[in-house]
Amino acid sequence: MKRPTIADVAEAAGVSVATVDRVLNARLPVREETSKRVFSAAEKIGFHATNIIRQRMLADLPSYNLGFILRKERHAFYQSFAEELEAAARAVKDRRLQIHVQFAQSGEPSEISELLLAMRGKVQAIGAIAPDHHDVTSAVSALRSKGVATFSLISDFAQGVREAYLGTNNIKVGRTAAWMLSRLSRSPGKMLLLLGGHRFHGQPRRSASRWRSSTTIFSPFFETG
C-alpha cells in the first residue's frame, strides 16, 4: 500500500498542498481550525508526519504541569488510574498538559505531605489521594500560599483549604451498598461492617451510611478496623 503523501492529506482535509506544507513546517501562520482539520486528516489516513503536525500545533498552545499523588504503585487500580490520567491529558487538544505522577509507598501523612511539598514550583495544580491529617492540611496550606491549587481525589481531606473534592458522594455510595445488601438478604439478621481506615474519610462515611440505611433490615453487629 502506498504511503500517504502531503497531497493525500490536503485532499482529505479539503485544503491546498501549500496549506498542509505551512502547517507541517510552520512557515506561515495558519488558522487554528485549519490546523486541526489538517491534523485530523493526517491522523485518519496514517500520514507519517502526523506527530510532527501535532507538535507544531501544540507549540503555541498554553502549557500546564499537573501533579498527582496516588497510592500503592503496584496495585492494578492505581496503575489504571495513572494510565487514564495520561490518556486524558493526551486527549486535550487546546492546551499542552504534562502529567507528573508520584506514588506514596506507605500512605502515611508525613510521607504524603513531603510529596506534596516536593511538587511546589514544578506544577500549577495537584490532585492527591491522602488521609485527612493535620500534616497534609499544613502542606496543602503551604502550597495554596504559593498559588498551587490542590484537589482531593476519591477521599476528601483538608476541607476549607484544598480547592475542591473530586470523587463520588460517599453517603450516596454507602446507601447504595445498603440497598444492595438488603436485596441480597433473605431475612433480617446481623451485619458486619468492615472499615479499612479512619484516616480516609470516604470509608467511615460509607460505612456509617450503610449502617444508618440498613437498621430497618439488620441489627448492627460491630465495626472493626
User: In the chain, which stretches have pLDDT less than 70?
Assistant: 1, 58, 60, 191-225
Residue 30 domain-assigned?
Answer: yes
pLDDT digits 0-9 by tens, 23-75? 888 777 788 788 888 888 988 999 988 888 877 776 767 889 999 999 988 99
- Which of 122, 144, 166 is the endpoint of a domain? 166
Judgement on whether residues 211 and 124 belong to the same structural domain of the protein: no
Judgement on whether residues 159 and 179 belong to the same structural domain of the protein: no
Judgement on whether residues 203 and 219 belong to the same structural domain of the protein: yes
How many domains in the chain?
3
Judgement on whether residues 90 and 148 belong to the same structural domain of the protein: yes
Judgement on whether residues 179 and 147 belong to the same structural domain of the protein: no
Q: How far is CA 146 from CA 125, 143, 163, in A?
A: 11, 5, 13
Judgement on whether residues 32 and 73 belong to the same structural domain of the protein: no
Q: How far is CA 129 from CA 80, 104, 132, 200, in A?
A: 15, 9, 10, 9
Nearest residue to 121 (alpha-carbon basis) of 96, 100, 92: 100
Judgement on whether residues 48 and 20 belong to the same structural domain of the protein: yes
**Three-class SS of the chain:** CCCCCHHHHHHHHCCCHHHHHHHHHCCCCCCHHHHHHHHHHHHHHCCCCHHHHHHHHHHCCCEEEEEEEEECCCCHHHHHHHHHHHHHHHHCCCCEEEEEEEEECCCCHHHHHHHHHHCCCCCCEEEECCCCCHHHHHHHHHHHHCCCEEEEECCCCCCCCCCEEECCCHHHHHHHHHHHHHHHCCCCEEEEEECCCCCCCHHHHHHHHHHHHHCCCEEEEEEEC
Residue 1 domain-assigned?
Answer: no
Distance between CA 101 and CA 128 in Å, rounded? 10
- Which of 147, 166, 185 is the endpoint of a domain? 166
Judgement on whether residues 131 and 150 belong to the same structural domain of the protein: yes
Give the CATH number for residue 29: 1.10.260
Which pLDDT does position 143 carry in this prediction? Answer: 97
Give the CATH number for residue 93: 3.40.50.2300
Judgement on whether residues 74 and 52 belong to the same structural domain of the protein: no
Which pLDDT does position 39 carry in this prediction? Answer: 87
Which pLDDT does position 88 carry in this prediction? Answer: 93
Which pLDDT does position 217 carry in this prediction? Answer: 41
pTM: 0.64
Q: Which domain holds residue 46?
A: 6-59
Residue 128 has φ and ψ, to the nearest 5°, of -140, 150
What type of residue sits at position 16?
A: S
Judgement on whether residues 116 and 89 belong to the same structural domain of the protein: yes
Which pLDDT does position 26 carry in this prediction? Answer: 74
Which pLDDT does position 160 carry in this prediction? Answer: 92
Residue 200 domain-assigned?
Answer: yes
Judgement on whether residues 208 and 162 belong to the same structural domain of the protein: no
Judgement on whether residues 161 and 70 belong to the same structural domain of the protein: yes
Grid cell listed for 65: 504541569
